[in-house]
Amino acid sequence: MIPDLHAAERFLAASGRVVERRVFDRMFAGGQPEPVRDAVAAYRNPDGGFGHGLEPDCRCPASQPAATATALGTLDEADAWDVELAAGACDWLAAHPADGGGSVFVEPTVTGWPHAPWWVPAGPDEGRPASLISTGMLAGVLHARGVRHPWLDAATSLLWDRIDALTEPSPYDLLGVFRFLDHAPDRDRALAAAAKVGDLMCSHGLVDLDPEAPGETHSPLFFAPRPRSAARVAFDDEVIERHLDHLARGQRADGGWTFNWLAWSPAAEQDWRGFVTIEALATLRANNRL
């Protein structure tokens, strides 16, 4: 099954944010990078970080690691990278480090603003623990673009230490780990770590090989959306092809895709559907399904 690009474009026109509409135009309709850059920059704060609900689960205007990771990931995915925006983001991260380096999951500025129930900042006695998902997502995209910055040096060191000691990860921990391993400069070490982490993921039942499994499951494509993703080491081609078939069939009658986790507000649900529609199309195209 080949998804209908025109239906997806109409879905985004009806229900998507400007940023996803600009990304679609750039990635699938020959658009220029500047409109993507400008759409992402609209979520930027004077401190260099990003907020304002760019990551749909947090509607906080203040800068947040997840929103900053989303901003940089969007610029990278759409090949609209902007050195100035990336440098400002790194400076913001360096001004708000986690204990030992890297990034926390959520900054306490979320308090009092609408957000998903799992967006809980660390308590006053917990310090600023580093988050594998936010640190890994940020470090991965920065390494992909060849960025050099002291924050990234410290984050990379922390990630290697945490990966070496990994025993009881969550699926979201592993998402951050694999995004880092996708682009970590030490490729021999990254490939060896990917094999180890892949075994850990499978032995702990953190990936569901059945594409029809109900509920909030995590498919192989969650961890390994691209043919060169580090996590592909854990899956054979037949498994990947089954999940690509399922993803291609996931286009809904309105032209968009949806997601399998809790939709905690109508606005977040609508924003996420635009985001995952772009992700579905990008994954399918990267795997020669478009």
Give the per-residue pLDDT at 123: 86
For the chain, give the percent of residues with pLDDT over 70: 100
Q: Which residues contact 214 (CB under 8 A, 6 or more apart)?
A: none
Read off the pTM: 0.97
Segment 131-190, tens digit of pLDDT: 999 999 999 999 999 999 999 999 999 999 999 999 999 999 999 999 999 999 999 999
Beta bridge partners of 115: 58
Q: Work out the angle at residue 287's Cα, subtended by the Cα atoms of residues 261 and 141, and round it to the nearest 5 degrees.
A: 65
Residue 59 included in any domain? yes
Residue 78 included in any domain? yes
Residue 234 included in any domain? no
Give the per-residue pLDDT at 266: 96
**Number of domains, the chain:** 1
Give the per-residue pLDDT at 64: 98
- State the pLDDT confidence band at 81, using cuts at 50, 70 and 90: very high
How far is it, in rounded angstroms, from Cα 281 to Cα 34?
Answer: 21
Residue 196 included in any domain? no
How far is it, in rounded angstroms, from Cα 158 to Cα 135?
Answer: 9
Segment 216-267, tens digit of pLDDT: 999 999 999 999 999 999 999 999 999 999 999 999 999 999 999 999 999 9
- State the pLDDT confidence band at 125, using cuts at 50, 70 and 90: confident
Q: Which residues contact 152 (CB under 8 A, 6 or more apart)?
A: 90, 139, 142, 143
Mean of the per-residue pLDDT values of the chain: 97
Domain that holds residue 152: 43-165
Segment 15-26, tens digit of pLDDT: 999 999 999 999
Segment 97-116, tens digit of pLDDT: 999 999 999 999 999 999 99
Give the per-residue pLDDT at 209: 95
Mean pLDDT computed over 24-30: 97
Residue 228 included in any domain? no
- Cα distances from 193 to residues 155, 162, 174, 188, 245, in angstroms, run 17, 11, 12, 9, 29
Give the per-residue pLDDT at 84: 98
Mean pLDDT computed over 16-42: 98
Give the per-residue pLDDT at 124: 85
Neighbours of 274 (CB within 10 A): 24
Residue 205 included in any domain? no
How far is it, in rounded angstroms, from Cα 256 to Cα 219?
Answer: 19
Residue 180 included in any domain? no
Residue 172 included in any domain? no
Segment 58-70, tens digit of pLDDT: 999 999 999 999 9
Give the per-residue pLDDT at 272: 98
Give the per-residue pLDDT at 80: 98
Segment 188-207, tens digit of pLDDT: 999 999 999 999 999 999 99
